Structure 1
Amino acid sequence: MSQVLALSEHQSPLTSDFGETHLAWLCQQIISNRFLPVPPEEDVFVGDGDYRVIGAEFLDHFVRMGGLKTTDDVLDIGCGIGRIAVPLTQFLNPEKAIYRGLDPVRNGIEWCKRAITPAYPNFRFECADIRNALYNPEGEISGRGIRLPFQDGTFDFTAMISVATHLPPDEIEAYCSEVFRVLRPGGRLFLTAFVMCADDDPSHPDRDARLKAFAKADGQPCWHLRGENPMAAVGFDDAFLDDALTTAGFDIHTKSFGAWRGKPAAHYQDFLIARKPRRNA
């Protein structure tokens, strides 16, 4: 099991409108449904593992941990080639919920527009030409000045899956601020990251071998892999991520540590779930 931190005794639980038994059944249906769109394997440019299985896994996390509801309006930042979007097509109510996906990689967005939107018109995708040293080095828009193309209070739930793991600190702060703006009061941000804790053991035999080369950046709250593109994998000091979220205005609801560091967990990366307080309505 993951180490899950209860960060406030006074926060109400994040509950969905979807039963756990039905959720387990739906996730299995998503994995086995050969009619759902799946991109060619050679076009999948994000993450390892089975496209359908990982998508269904995150749907399960969103509902169980993040309280995702079938009527929630969802923003998926870093939507890639639709790995999160496809299972959500089977979950979100097409008459009451919208999904919007953003990503800087045009090929992934174009596939989503062709394969997903025609069958699910409440799912729309947009290529944001945001500069990123790994995925879009020639992009026109600096992540430090990101302005999400949505009005204030548009969404109930924002996912940033494997996004913070490829961003510098100042862009993390900019994204947190923008996500806070576009969420409605009570809305949630579901963020995955590599959280660097003081008691982590880099030599742990069960730690992901690819991430044993993390080294602290001089004078920065971030960590990079030695000898790699700095944005190939980015870890952040625990306190930095907490501060970025709370400075933006969020209450941190849940922090759940992942298996990448070598300890048993129900998920790979670390999860942070933050909520926009209702009092800021």
Structure 2
Amino acid sequence: MTEVIALKTAFTEPAPTFDNDHVEWLMEAVLANRFLPCPDPDSIFVGDGNFRAVGAEFLGHFIRKGGLKPESRVLDIGCGIGRMAVPLTQYIDFAKGSYRGIDPVAGGINWCRQMISPVYSNFEFNHLDIAHSLYNPKGAIDGLELVLPYEDRQFDFIIMTSVVTHLPDEEVSAYLREVERVLAPGGRLFMTCFVVDQVAADNPLKKRDARLGFQRYDEGPCWFVPELPPLAAVGFDDGFLEGALLRAGLSVMTKSFGHWRGIPSDHYQDLFVAELQGDRR
């Protein structure tokens, strides 16, 4: 069972609004559908794990944990080469829902434009030339000055999977300010991360992912892996991300620890689901 951490501010867990049998069927259908586009597994844009299996898993998480609806207007920040977009084509309503994906790596965006958008016209992909020391070192946009190319209150569901795991704390806050701006009231953010609490840092059961031996960087909230480039894997002090979300105007609904830290869980990274409770403008 996934370990869900109780928050200091109590919240009421909403009753499930999905048919779990249908979600299971949908995930299996995505895995079995050989006609869905799938990039070359050797592509540098694919990331870890099986492309189709990881996408199907997250489709289930978006629906079950995030409350994603077929009619949702979705923004996928850091969409890469469409690992989340491909399974979402089988769920987002063609007439009522929409998907927008952005990424600083042009190669992944070009693949999505060629392989997904011609068939699913409600799926749109945009290259955003954000500078990143690993993924886009020559980018023209400073992450601290990020402005998403969308109007206010345009999205119902925003995805940030494996995004803040590659950002310094100041840029996390900049991204979250923009998330708040483009989310519609009642809209939700689904965000994965690495939270370095005492258990994760000390690894008392010796079951933590051996690749993620985080060490504190300085007096700030960030933790890095010494053997890797600084932004290859970033963890944060327990409590930092809750604070950043709250400062951005988002209320935390769910905080769930993942099995990277050596505990039983149905997801690898830690995750947050946060909601914009009302229009603050």
1:29 corresponds to which residue?
A: 29
Report the Cα distance in structure 2 between the residues aligned to 1:234 and 1:14, rounded to whole angstroms. 33
Give the corresponding residue for 2:259. Answer: 259
The alignment partner of 2:211 has SS state of helix
Asked if 1:145 is matched to 2:173, the reply is no
The whole-number CA distance in structure 2 between the counterparts of 1:70 and 1:211 is: 35
Mapping of residues 46-125 of structure 1, within 5 Å: 46-125=46-125
How far apart are the structure 2 equivalents of 1:10 and 1:263? 24
Give the distance between the partners of 1:10 and 1:264, measured in 2 at CA.
23
Report the AA paired with residue 77 of structure 2: I
Q: TM-score, normalised by structure 2?
A: 0.95
Aligned residues: 279
What letter matches 2:62 in structure 1? Answer: F
How big is the shift at 1:199?
3.5
Percentage identity across aligned positions?
Answer: 52
3-state secondary structure, aligned to 1:280? coil
Distance 1:141 1:75 in 2: 19
Is the CA contact (8 Å cut-off) linking 2:82 and 2:112 kept in structure 1? yes
TM (norm. structure 1) is 0.95
SS at match of 1:227: coil
CA offsets 1:90-138 (integer angstroms, 9 cap, x no match):
0000100110000001000000000000000000000110011111111
Tell whether the 8 Å contact from 2:2 to 2:266 is kept in structure 1 after alignment.
Answer: yes
Unaligned runs of 5+ in 2: none
Distance verdict in 2 for CA 1:33–1:256, change over 3 Å? same
Residue 47 of structure 1, CA deviation = 2.7
RMSD across aligned positions (CA): 1.4
Indicate how the Cα distance of structure 1 residues 2 and 109 shifts in structure 2: closer, same or farther if over 3 A, else same: same
Contact 1:259 1:266 in 2 (8 A): yes
C-alpha distance in structure 2 between counterparts of 1:81 and 1:203, whole Å: 37
- Is the Cα–Cα contact under 8 Å of residues 160 and 192 in structure 1 kept in the other structure? yes
| 1:211 match: secondary structure | coil
- The ranges of structure 1 where at least 4 consecutive aligned residues each deviate by more than 4 angstroms after the TM superposition are none
**What amino acid maps onto 2:69 in structure 1?**
K
Secondary structure at 1:42 match in 2: coil
- Structure 1, unaligned runs of 5 or more: none
The one-letter code matched in structure 1 to 2:268 is Y
In structure 2, C-alpha distance between the alignment counterparts of 1:134 and 1:115, rounded to whole Å: 25
Aligned-partner SS, 1:223: strand
- Given that 1:15 and 1:68 are in contact with CA atoms closer than 8 Å, whether structure 2 keeps it comes out as no
Q: Which residue of 2 aligns with 1:241?
A: 241
Aligned partners of 1:80, 1:263: CA distance in 2, in Å? 28
Q: Provide the rounded CA distance (Å) in 2 between the counterparts of 1:97 and 1:88.
A: 10
Quick check: 2:11–2:253 contact (8 Å CA) kept in 1? no
C-alpha change, 1:55 and 1:253, in structure 2 (3 Å) is same
2:212 match: 211
Taking a change above 3 Å as real, the CA distance of residues 202 and 266 of structure 1, as seen in their structure-2 partners, is same
Change (3 A) 1:120 1:44: farther
- Worse overlay, 122-131 or 1-10: 1-10
Take 2:131 and 2:46, find their aligned partners in 1: how far apart are those partners?
17
Structure-1 separation of matches of 2:33 and 2:44: 19
- Give the C-alpha shift of residue 279 in structure 1: 5.8
After TM superposition, give the deviation of residue 202 of structure 1 in Å: 3.1
